[in-house]
């Protein structure tokens, strides 16, 4: 049995580790990946294959203090309209380089606040996407929806454009916590948005909720989770709030002395986790929950669960193309990131070129270790035979890496001829285990505590 003392000794409460939605993580990207690399990688996509497409909208009507995403506030619609036109130009440029017959298995609009767009802008942008690449069979088109920034006209525009999965941010329903984090959003407002989504026949609903927020207590998170459960989301992400005011300056508005202690964070997570499980949700990886019919649960049962920049996914496409300022693309060859500043991104696109400014070209070791980390994060096991089959490696090399990881974790893991397995009581340490597979120097930039 793993004790609280062991968890603490192994770094659960104080280690700063990546979320490992990519490997290597973005602090290790370099400036040697250029627009030419991005266009070459696009052109290397096999004809008639399926890819994922992500569109980033960095604007928000208000800037929530807890958020560490790359966003900017706007009081008018003018910069949003100009940005949509730039996105359309980027889509036209993408179309010129896409091989014949490429289709979209996944389309996701994130931000920022994509629902800041007007209904007309939404229809216009969606049409531009379809002009660049049409949907594949069984596609999924998801949009991050701010319940404070949505109405019937905009939902109609999204539904008519093919949206079949909606994602809402909840964070916490407690009014005092909402004021402290700069995100006031009542349960009634959220329920009204969910009702409008369901009324339009959109069957798939994601929701995000946070633990580790200032002034958050066990009773408060119980209340918030129960309210969320009453909305019957199909998929829930239970993320730990990452307090990184040295990176996200707006978080300086949040009093650090109001944050729960690390051991209290674990209690908050466990309390919420048990409520989702008691309500018959499947546990997915380290921080997601899904109904048994949801795609994530199906993928977890079939061994096809994957991990990308949005967290856990059932999308098996080998290519994720990110458009918009700061977006990151993933190809079999490596990662490519667009210019983070909207001005630099816009300048590059208007000059009829892509805006790639940094990235990473994969080595053989990158591919091997990335898959090991993904296996661990998705399935709590590493399959040696699959790694030897799919990568240029040997059973001895894989076993050596696994044994070294187990030694770092005081032999709490199971390592045998089949690979590595993480017992349930050691699963809070999953990101720390993943770090032991990471061959790059650890940077604390943007990383959060392991729980």
pLDDT in tens, 180-206: 988 889 999 999 999 999 999 998 999
Q: Answer for the pair 220, 101: CB distance below 8 angstroms, yes or no.
A: no
How would you class 276 by CB atoms within 10 Å of its CB: exposed for 0-12, middle for 13-18, buried for 19 or more? buried
- Say how far apart CA 159 and CA 143 lie, in whole Å: 10
Tokens of 232: 């019957």
Q: What's the alpha-carbon Rg for the chain, to the nearest Å? A: 21
Instruction: Identify which of 39, 45, 54 has the alpha carbon closest to the alpha carbon of residue 310.
Output: 54
Counting every residue written for the chain, the total comes to 451
pLDDT confidence tier of residue 4, bands split at 50, 70 and 90: confident
Per residue in 324-336, pLDDT (tens digit) is 999 999 999 999 9
Per residue in 403-415, pLDDT (tens digit) is 999 999 999 999 9
3-state SS, one letter per residue, for 75-97? CCCHHHHHHHHHHHHHHHHHHHH
As a whole number, mean pLDDT of residues 164-178 equals 95
pLDDT at 65 over 80: no
Give residue 254's pLDDT. 82
Residue 42's SS3 state is helix
3-state SS, one letter per residue, for 130-183? HHHCCEEEEEEEEEEECCCCCCHHHHHHHHHCCCCEEEEEEECCCHHHHHHHCC
Residue 415's SS3 state is strand
Residue 63's SS3 state is coil
pLDDT confidence tier of residue 264, bands split at 50, 70 and 90: very high
Mean pLDDT score of the chain: 93
Which range (141-155, 232-246, 382-396) has the least confidence?
Answer: 232-246
pLDDT at 94 over 90: yes
- Say how far apart CA 334 and CA 130 lie, in whole Å: 26
Give residue 76's pLDDT. 67
As a whole number, mean pLDDT of residues 159-164 equals 97
Tokens of 79: 């910069």
Residues 6+ apart with CB under 8 A from 281: 236, 289, 290, 291
Give residue 152's pLDDT. 97
Kindly compute the dihedral angle of the four CA atoms of residues 280, 284, 285, 288, in this order, to the nearest 10 degrees.
-90
As a whole number, mean pLDDT of residues 21-25 equals 94
Give residue 70's pLDDT. 67
pLDDT at 386 over 90: yes
pTM: 0.94
Residue of 433 and 66 predicted with greater confidence:
433
pLDDT at 445 over 60: no
127 HSE (CA, 13 A, CB side)? 8
Which range (59-68, 157-166, 369-378) has the least confidence?
Answer: 59-68
Which range (64-68, 236-240, 353-357) has the least confidence?
Answer: 64-68
Residues of the chain above pLDDT 90, percent: 82
pLDDT at 68 over 70: no
Give residue 242's pLDDT. 86
As a whole number, mean pLDDT of residues 342-364 equals 97
Residue 11's SS3 state is coil
pLDDT at 110 over 80: yes
């Amino acid at each position: 049995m793993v004790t609280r003392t062991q968890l603490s000794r192994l770094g659960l409460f104080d280690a700063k580790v990546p979320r490992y939605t990519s490997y290597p993580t973005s602090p290790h990207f370099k400036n040697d990946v250029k627009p030419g690399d991005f266009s070459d990688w696009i052109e290397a996509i096999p004809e008639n294959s399926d890819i994922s497409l992500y569109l980033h909208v960095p604007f928000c009507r208000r800037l929530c203090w807890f958020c560490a995403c790359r966003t900017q506030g706007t009081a008018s619609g003018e910069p949003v309209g100009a940005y949509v036109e730039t996105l359309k130009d980027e889509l036209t440029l993408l179309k010129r380089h896409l091989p014949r017959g490429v289709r979209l298995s996944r389309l996701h609009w994130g931000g920022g606040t994509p629902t800041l767009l007007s209904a007309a802008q939404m229809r216009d942008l969606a049409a531009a996407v379809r002009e660049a690449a049409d949907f594949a069979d069984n596609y999924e088109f998801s949009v991050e929806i701010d319940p404070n920034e949505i109405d019937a006209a905009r939902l109609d525009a999204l539904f008519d454009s093919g949206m079949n999965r909606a994602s809402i941010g909840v964070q916490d329903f407690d009014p005092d916590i909402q004021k402290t984090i700069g995100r006031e959003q009542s349960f009634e407002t959220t329920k009204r948005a969910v009702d409008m989504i369901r009324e339009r026949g959109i069957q798939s609903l994601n929701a995000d909720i946070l633990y580790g927020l200032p002034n958050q207590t066990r009773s408060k998170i119980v209340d918030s989770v129960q309210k969320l459960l009453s909305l019957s989301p199909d998929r829930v992400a239970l993320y730990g709030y990452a307090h990184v005011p040295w990176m996200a300056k707006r978080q300086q508005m949040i009093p650090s002395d109001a944050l729960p202690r690390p051991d209290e964070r674990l209690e908050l997570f466990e309390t919420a986790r048990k409520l989702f499980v008691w309500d018959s949700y499947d546990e997915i990886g380290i921080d997601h929950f899904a109904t048994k019919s949801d795609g994530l649960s199906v993928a977890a049962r079939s061994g096809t669960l994957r991990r990308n920049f949005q967290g856990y996914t059932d999308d098996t496409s080998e290519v994720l193309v990110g458009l918009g300022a700061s977006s990151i693309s993933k190809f079999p060859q490596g990662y490519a990131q667009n210019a983070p500043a909207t001005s630099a991104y816009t300048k590059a696109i208007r000059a009829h070129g892509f805006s790639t400014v940094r990235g990473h070209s994969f080595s053989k070791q990158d591919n091997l270790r990335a898959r090991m980390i993904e296996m661990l994060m998705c399935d709590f096991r590493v399959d040696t035979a699959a790694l030897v089959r799919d990568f240029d490696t040997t059973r001895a090399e894989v076993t050596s890496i696994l044994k070294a990881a187990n030694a770092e974790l005081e032999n709490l893991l199971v390592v045998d001829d089949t690979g590595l397995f993480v017992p349930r009581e050691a699963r809070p340490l999953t990101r720390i285990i993943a770090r032991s597979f990471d061959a790059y120097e650890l940077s604390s930039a943007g990383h959060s505590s392991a729980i």
